[in-house]
Structure 1
Amino acid sequence: MRPLRHAVARHRPPLPADTGKTVWLFDLDNTLHDCSKGIFSAIDGAMSRAVASSLQLSAQDADVLRKEYWRRYGATVIGMVRHHGIKAGTFLHLSHDFDVASLVHSEYGLARKLRRLNGHKILLTNAPTEYARTVLKTLGILHHFDGIWTIEHMALQGRIRPKPSPGLMKQVLARLRVPARRVVLVEDTLRNLKSARQAGMRTVHVYHPGTPFSALHAGRALYVDVRVNSVGRLAGVRPHAGSDPAVARTVAT
């Protein structure tokens, strides 16, 4: 298999047809690293400042608009592009213009644990490319990934379609050329896992009780194959082999 070291969606060919190996699609924030220690608040602040400077709004009005576009579209940048004609690349740079590396925290031995996980690994994140690569480099795991698929590569029919867009999930499977049953989405956000399951993928819920998106559902969703509270537990997980799609199995640390 040829390595895909850059963005899968634009710079490299898709993965070859079914090789028999699992393809792991990893979310980034609160999946591969813990955002509760400062990154989310830094992103929120930078995002509001970017809205304010782009539209000449007060800090309070910018914060309200940021939240409204996030609720409506799943990403503030979509509202900025759609309603104000702001260039996506410019806004994404402004909204992540802070010292990312100093705020990155992960579980101990993450690189070693990922190395033990058999199969192809691809990042699938609604974050921008520069931010995603910085986080992976800081974590020391960039080289473990065969591809990086970020929000810059989630355009469908001229519009940005981030997770949990069903169209994005179909596009991902088409580019990978791998049967959906061999693709596993590893995520902390349940609505994204639900969309992946509807596309035929297997799902792993990375559950952190203290983080904002995992806390939206305290029980076991029917579209979750396995729940873990540590990415390091994935080496012993086979969500595509003999799992009952109607029952979520919890693997604790």
Structure 2
Amino acid sequence: MSRATPLRLPRATRALLRRLRQRASGKAAAPAQPPRTWLFDLDDTLHNASAHIFPHINRAMTAYIRELLSLDEAGAGKLRQHYWRRYGATLQGLVRHHGVEPQHFLARTHDFPDLAGMVVAEPGLRAMLHRLPGRKIVFSNAPRAYAEAVLRIIGVRDCFDALYTIESLRYRPKPARAAFRRLLHAEKLDPRRCIMVEDSPANLLTAKRLGMKTVLVSACLRRAPHVDVLVASAMDLPLRSGRL
């Protein structure tokens, strides 16, 4: 009995048959996707800055503004908070409206007598970070020297592939879109493959609008619509990462 001559099938039919045979054999492969990238805020996300560090910085910033603009302490404190709420960082308001030199301001307000004694962090932080698959980047409005020092003190600097600070962002802090876009462009990241971990709902709102998954680290705030996951501590991330 002679064999039938194979027919020349149209390209679309051949592609359909290939997919059907792959499905039948259980070998159909999903298209490869780049690994997720975790973008971590630093203060009050990776360590508890509110315990000792933020009060020190706030006093130093208030003193700086008081001296710069000849205000009393109450007035200087109100202006500091106003610029922080409006721009995401007090520095941005002082640069825009008073011509302050950023490096001078940062050096004066991030001078700590005993930074190591002021840092409060979870002892299992390093192990937790190693349990999260994907690249990890620190994305902070803090100055580089301070951020590097804190990461070394808590023993996790080598857990991160990159560090973006206020200098890297050309003094355009979160929640400005320009800050996010600078990091995404420099690292060649698709925001849809990024997870932003933050204690600031305002910063997460920008991240969500860009297409990122969002994690709010807070023991007291409620989960807003633009927050995908709420955790009381970054230590809870491995348990909740399945929802991301």
Report the Cα distance in structure 1 between the residues aligned to 2:178 and 2:83, rounded to whole angstroms. 20
**What is aligned with 1:109?**
124
Give the count of matched residue pairs: 211
SS, match of residue 108 in structure 2: helix
Give a deviation string over 1:182-227, Cα, whole Å, max 9, x none. Answer: 1110011111111101001111111222xxxxx3xx2x32211212
Alignment of 1:48-197 (within 5 A): 48-98=62-112, 99-155=114-170, 160-197=171-208
SS, match of residue 151 in structure 1: coil
SS, match of residue 46 in structure 1: helix
In structure 2, the CA distance between the partners of 1:172 and 1:239, relative to structure 1 (3 Å rule), is: farther
Report the Cα distance in structure 1 between the residues aligned to 2:242 and 2:36, rounded to whole angstroms. 9
Whether 1:199 and 2:210 are equivalent positions in the alignment is yes
Q: CA deviation at 1:36?
A: 2.9
Deviating 4+ runs (over 6 angstroms): none
Q: CA deviation at 1:109?
A: 1.0
Whether 1:224 and 2:235 are equivalent positions in the alignment is no
Report the Cα distance in structure 1 between the residues aligned to 2:64 and 2:145, rounded to whole angstroms. 16
Q: CA deviation at 1:56?
A: 4.5
Give a deviation string over 1:52-83, Cα, whole Å, max 9, x none. Answer: 33445443332232122222222111122122
C-alpha RMSD over aligned residues: 1.9
% identity of equivalent residues: 43
Report the Cα distance in structure 2 between the residues aligned to 1:19 and 1:51, rounded to whole angstroms. 48
Report the Cα distance in structure 1 between the residues aligned to 2:68 and 2:151, rounded to whole angstroms. 29
Say if 2:164 and 2:183, in contact at 8 Å, map to a contact too: no
Say if 1:206 and 1:228, in contact at 8 Å, map to a contact too: yes
Whether 1:43 and 2:57 are equivalent positions in the alignment is yes
Give the structure-1-normalised TM-score.
0.77
Report the Cα distance in structure 2 between the residues aligned to 1:147 and 1:225, rounded to whole angstroms. 24
Give a deviation string over 1:111-160, Cα, whole Å, max 9, x none. Answer: 111122221111001111111111111111111111110111222xxxx3
Structure 1 stretches lacking a partner, 5+ long: 1-17, 210-214, 241-253
Give the structure-2-normalised TM-score.
0.80
SS, match of residue 167 in structure 2: helix
Say if 2:92 and 2:173, in contact at 8 Å, map to a contact too: no
Report the Cα distance in structure 1 between the residues aligned to 2:218 and 2:73, rounded to whole angstroms. 33
Q: CA deviation at 1:239?
A: 4.6
Bigger fraction of residues in helix: 2
**What is aligned with 1:11?**
none
Larger Rg belongs to: 2
Say if 2:198 and 2:215, in contact at 8 Å, map to a contact too: yes
Report the Cα distance in structure 2 between the residues aligned to 1:67 and 1:117, rounded to whole angstroms. 35
